[in-house]
Structure 1
């Protein structure tokens, strides 16, 4: 189902969808009110949601849909200016799964790339099981294969990564950390490049820590969250400085959680602290294993709270997870590890 008030853009999105053999258009409506009315009858597998609509906006529509008939939602954002981005990010927090650029026209630059991204996101998100509410679950540290004994050392840096469902999960984890959190935080979130600065700004307004896009050559500071910029890897280099790398994507991902974790394993060794949250695919799993082998404490989000268990599940399967915890318990555990010197 397409929800878009502009007739021109609605027709353009319908054209884009109709060209992809993986997708079938079941409805294209001009308002959130129409979408809510049609939803029980049509029951789409996925919704393309404009964020700025007449009457009820896309944020409120997302809240209503997730409360009344949970359905995967992909936000189509027409602008990266502050107001629209804030609504888009809050829609992710309300239950939307991803945000992508809105196409302008077939003759504009980047049209083919944007059209391909829209179709791929709609198809992938249509496969995500969405439920109304997830309980916190009960979890114990996951048993894994023995690793070489490495003396435990106080952590000096926290690396955290997420993909599908990541923004609200990151807001919850980082929101549990105080402004004087003693470690720097390096963060990878899979999201379209144009939205990364707005994502960092949105997160900065939600959590006690200071959040900003990472800068090449910057030295990470305690109480700061350094976010990987769009379409670039974030790495911790020897000497403890940050590197922003344009090296090729790893497993189709740039930034890559695995590249971040591997760099922390190489540079910080047993003083690293790694966290892998909800996400589709396997990015981050091999990197988390590298961190654990280097003696770091590694945490994966428990299946009971993930939107998509793919990335944490891969890490658990490979033996890269020291412990698997429901989302509400991760922030407090990280604070405890940081304050107690990694014991």
Structure 2
């Protein structure tokens, strides 16, 4: 189902979807109210959702859909620099799964790439099982038998964290639990379209205690700050302790790559490395978490009970890249414990 008030864009999206053999257009409506009315009858596998709609906006529509008839939602954002993008990110917190660029005219440069991204995201997200709202996890979760819980490092020196599908709200929850005077720097990889990364960093900066900004090449990371991998660049930590942005080829189709981030932190920090791998489709980050753990670092994976997509964390568990598997609400407090232990040391 396409939800888009502009007739021109609605027709363009319908044209894009009709060209993809993986997709079939179930409905195309001009308002959130019409979408809610048609939803029980059409029962689409995935929804393309505009944010700026007449009457009820896309954020409120997402909340209503996730409460009444949970359906995978892909937000189509037409702006990455104004307040609209913040609304798009809040739609992710309300249950939407990803954000992609709004398509441009067929004669415009970049159209085919944007169209392909939209179709791929719609197809992938149509496979995700969504539920109304996950119940809060218990404070002392059961650890899967395949995960061996190891004692944490005595003195963590760097925290690397990565996520993909469902990542922005999960990252906000984990980082929101850490204090502004966090004793280590935080390096972050989130799979998202390159044009959105600056807006994503700004959105996250307004939600968590620590300052958040895009990483700069050659920068010396400081404790109490979050450094986000910019669009289409790998984020690496050098053995000299500085940040490096790399345009090297994608690893497993990902740039930035979570595996390359974790690998570089493992090489630079050894047993002082902390790694966290959250919800996401595919296996990016799994091999890097295994290397981080072999280097003596401590690796936390999000448990299946809370992950929107238990792909990346599950792969890390299979490869031996998990020191502890925890539900999302328990990860931030666990990091607090580790970092307080560091402060006492």
1:170 aligned residue: 171
CA contact (8 A) 1:150 1:294 kept: no
Partner SS for 2:342 = coil
In the TM superposition, what are the counterparts of 1:1-343 in structure 2 within 5 Å?
1-138=1-138, 139-144=141-146, 152-341=153-342
1:100-134 CA deviation, whole Å, 9 max, x = no partner? Answer: 00112001110000000000000000000000011
CA contact (8 A) 1:142 1:322 kept: no
* Structure 2 Cα separation of the partners of residues 140 and 248 of structure 1: 39
Partner SS for 2:15 = helix
* Structure 1 Cα separation of the partners of residues 206 and 14 of structure 2: 35
* Structure 2 Cα separation of the partners of residues 17 and 120 of structure 1: 10
State the Cα distance separating 1:144 from its structure 2 match: 4.8
Provide the aligned C-alpha RMSD in A.
1.7
Q: 1:209 to 1:108 in 2, by over 3 A?
A: same
1:8-32 CA deviation, whole Å, 9 max, x = no partner? Answer: 1100000000000000001000000
CA contact (8 A) 1:150 1:270 kept: no
CA contact (8 A) 1:156 1:272 kept: yes
CA contact (8 A) 2:259 2:288 kept: yes
Partner SS for 1:289 = helix
* Structure 1 Cα separation of the partners of residues 74 and 148 of structure 2: 41
Give the paired residue count: 342
Q: 1:56 to 1:278 in 2, by over 3 A?
A: same
> Gaps spanning 5+ residues in structure 2: where?
none
> Gaps spanning 5+ residues in structure 1: where?
none
CA contact (8 A) 2:184 2:223 kept: yes
* Structure 1 Cα separation of the partners of residues 184 and 2 of structure 2: 43
* Structure 1 Cα separation of the partners of residues 11 and 183 of structure 2: 51
* Structure 1 Cα separation of the partners of residues 9 and 290 of structure 2: 45
1:308-343 CA deviation, whole Å, 9 max, x = no partner? Answer: 000000001111000000111100100110110299
TM-score by length of 2: 0.96
Q: 1:126 to 1:150 in 2, by over 3 A?
A: closer
TM-score by length of 1: 0.97
State the Cα distance separating 1:169 from its structure 2 match: 0.3
* Structure 1 Cα separation of the partners of residues 56 and 206 of structure 2: 24
* Structure 1 Cα separation of the partners of residues 236 and 142 of structure 2: 31
1:234-261 CA deviation, whole Å, 9 max, x = no partner? Answer: 0001111000100000000110100100
State the Cα distance separating 1:145 from its structure 2 match: 8.0
